[in-house]
Structure 1
Amino acid sequence: MHVYDTITDALTDLDSRGYNLDFNLTAESLACKSVNLFLKPEEFEIEEVYRFEGMTDPADSSVVYAISSNAGNLKGVLVDGYGVYAENISPELLNKLKIHHE
């Protein structure tokens, strides 16, 4: 596992290691709009997780997930705030993220 000082450092290194897609959360899946891809919780794995604390405001905390999928042998990243997604996504997706978040 790597150690990064900033989210930018993490994203730059992950990109250099092949995590090239940008994922966003939808209600039921991870979405990558650039390639019109939607991954359900059972279709991806979380390979690495990095947490970043806000310098002055804990509400500014973020987490970076390094995601891989055998569906097309894809790799990418998901950047999200702590707990931001809890009310907006399916229980299956929430559980997959929580396992690696806590």
Structure 2
Amino acid sequence: MHIYDTVTAALTDLDNRGYNLDFNLTSEALECKSINLQLMPEEFEIEEVYHFEGMTDPADSSVVYAISSNLGNLKGVLVDGYGVYAENISPELLNKLKIHHQ
């Protein structure tokens, strides 16, 4: 596991290590618009997780997930704020993310 001072440093290093896709949360899946793909919770793994605390405001805290999928041998990242997704996504997707959100 690596240690990063900033979200930008984490994203740069992960990109250099092949995590090139940008994922976003939908209500049921992770979505990568650049390749028009959705990954259901059972179709991806969370390889690494990095937590970043806001300098002055805890609401600015975020999490960077390094994601991989055997579907097409894909690797990418998901950046999310603490708790932002809790009300908007399926229980299956929430549980997958929460396991690594400790």
| Shorter-chain TM band | over 0.9
Offset at 1:82?
Answer: 0.2
User: Number of residue pairs matched?
Assistant: 102
AA aligned to 1:90 is S
| SS of residue matched to 1:101 | coil
Is 2:7 the partner of 1:7?
Answer: yes
Offset at 1:69?
Answer: 0.1
Question: Percent identity over the alignment?
Answer: 87
> 1:50-90: CA deviations, max 9, x gaps?
00000000000000000000000000000000000000000
Q: Distance in 2 between matches of 1:71 and 1:99?
A: 22
2:75 corresponds to = 75
Moved over 3 A (4+): none
2:58 corresponds to = 58
Task: Give the aligned CA root-mean-square deviation in angstroms.
Answer: 0.2
1:43 corresponds to = 43
Give unmatched runs, 5+ long, in structure 2.
none
1:86 corresponds to = 86
AA aligned to 2:97 is L
